[in-house]
Amino acid sequence: MALRLVGLLISVVLVGLLATTMRGQLAGKDDSGPATPENLLRTAGMVVEHTHELTGTYAGVAVDSGSGLRLVSADANGYCLELTWVNRQVYHLRGPGGQAVEGAC
């Protein structure tokens, strides 16, 4: 039950972050600010890391796939987050400790 609540909270936070970012991108703002795919993946990675601290595993972290962000793989040792950006470019972050880079998981 607690894991589902944490997963729901994470999903809501990520959807809010992505919705705010997408609105700026669609309005034509430049990519040099904090709303970049790399920054969004780093932020989502921090949320996944925090969930890992609470639960002891990366598996089972809920991510709302309707936001363009999805958890492609997760187990006790690591995870891979993937983000499809507004121009349909795909970025990913392998964690823990990875860097956000262009391309699929």
Q: What's the structural domain count of the chain?
A: 1
* Model confidence pLDDT, tens digit, residues 50-71: 888 888 888 777 777 677 888 8
pLDDT for the residue numbered 68 = 85
Q: What is the pTM of this model?
A: 0.65
The answer on pLDDT for 97 being more than 90 is no
* Model confidence pLDDT, tens digit, residues 10-44: 765 666 666 666 655 555 554 556 678 888 899 88
Q: H/E element holding 83?
A: strand 79-84
pLDDT for the residue numbered 92 = 94
User: If you write DSSP's letter for every residue of 10-51 in order, what string do you get?
Assistant: HHHHHHHHHHHHHHHHHTT--TTSS-SHHHHHHHHHHHHHHH
Domain carrying residue 87? 2-102
